[in-house]
C-alpha cells in the first residue's frame, strides 16, 4: 500500500484518481481549497491552498499526483503552484505525477508540439499553461525528483467522462490515435493508467500520453 497525495482530488481528474487508488487499497489524501460535494470512501480530505500546505500534506507520501487546473483564480498561477508541489515531492522523496494537456504532445516524432501551432481560442490559455508546466519539469525540476508529465487524449475532459473499460494505451510525447483518427480516453480509464504508473513505475523524468 502506498500513501498517495492527490492535489485537486475533488476535481474531475483528481477524483477519478483518488477513487481508483482508494479501491486498490492505497492510503489516499486529497487536497483542494473546498470540501468535496461527494466523498469517496477511503479518501481523506484536506482543505487548503496547494502551495500553502504542500510540505505538510506531502510528508511521508510515496507519490504525489498534481491535478490542478489553470482556471478561475488559478489562471496564470499553475507553474508557480506546480513548482512548489514538485519541490515538496522532491524534499519528501516522493514520486511526482503531474497531469497536463493533450496539446503538449506531438503529432509525429520530431514534429512541433500541437501547442506550437494554431489552437482553438477556448483552449489556448489552458494549453499554454499546461505546456509551461511541462517545460518547468523538463528544464527546472529538482535534480532528485522522479517526475512524469502525463497528457490525456484530445477529447478527454469532464464533458466526455465516458465509461470504465479497463483498457488504455500509453505512449511517449507523440500522440496516440485510434483507427478512426480519434483521440479519446474516459476519466476512469485515464485514472487507471495513472494509478498503474504509481504501482509499477515505467516513466522517469519523462512525458507519457494516455489514449485508447
CB-CB contact of 201 with 95 (8 Å):
yes
Q: Which of 3, 18, 32, 198 is in the footprint of ligand NAP by CB under 6 A?
A: 32
Q: Which of 12, 114, 168, 190 is in the footprint of ligand NAP by CB under 6 A?
A: 12
CB-CB contact of 28 with 18 (8 Å):
yes
> What cell numbers appear for 31 in the block?
487536497
| Cell 514534429 found at | 111
30 burial (CB, 10 Å; 0-12 / 13-18 / 19+) is buried
Count of residues for the chain? 212
* String marking each residue 117-156 x if it binds ligand NAP according to CB under 6 A: ---------x---x---------------------x-x-x
Under the criterion CB under 6 A, does residue 158 sit at the interface with ligand NAP?
yes
Residue (81 or 92) nearer to ligand NAP, CB = 81
Q: Which of 63, 65, 101, 209 is in the footprint of ligand NAP by CB under 6 A?
A: 101
H-helix or E-strand spanning residue 139:
helix 121-140
Question: Which residues sit at the interface with ligand NAP, rule CB under 6 A?
Answer: 7-8, 10-14, 31-34, 49-50, 67-69, 71, 74, 81, 99-102, 126, 130, 152, 154, 156-158
Amino acid at each position: 500500500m502506498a500513501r498517495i497525495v492527490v492535489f485537486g482530488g475533488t476535481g474531475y481528474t483528481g477524483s477519478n484518481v483518488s477513487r481508483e487508488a482508494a479501491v486498490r487499497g492505497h492510503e489516499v489524501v486529497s487536497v483542494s481549497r473546498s470540501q468535496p460535494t461527494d466523498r469517496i470512501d477511503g479518501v481523506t480530505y484536506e482543505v487548503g491552498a496547494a502551495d500553502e500546505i504542500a510540505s505538510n500534506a506531502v510528508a511521508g507520501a510515496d507519490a504525489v499526483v498534481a491535478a490542478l487546473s489553470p482556471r478561475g483564480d488559478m489562471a496564470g498561477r499553475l507553474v508557480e503552484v506546480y513548482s512548489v508541489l514538485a519541490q515538496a515531492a522532491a524534499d519528501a522523496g516522493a514520486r511526482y505525477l503531474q497531469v497536463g494537456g493533450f496539446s503538449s504532445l506531438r503529432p509525429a516524432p520530431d514534429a512541433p508540439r500541437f501547442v506550437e501551432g494554431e489552437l482553438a481560442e477556448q483552449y489556448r490559455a489552458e494549453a499554454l499553461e499546461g505546456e509551461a508546466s511541462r517545460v518547468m519539469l523538463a528544464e527546472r525540476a529538482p535534480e532528485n525528483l522522479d517526475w512524469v508529465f502525463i497528457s490525456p487524449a484530445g477529447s478527454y475532459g469532464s464533458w466526455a467522462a465516458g465509461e470504465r473499460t479497463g483498457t488504455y494505451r500509453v505512449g511517449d510525447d507523440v500522440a496516440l490515435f485510434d483507427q478512426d483518427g480519434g483521440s479519446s480516453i474516459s476519466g476512469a480509464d485515464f485514472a487507471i493508467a495513472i494509478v498503474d504508473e504509481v504501482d509499477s513505475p515505467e516513466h522517469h523524468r519523462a512525458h507519457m500520453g494516455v489514449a485508447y
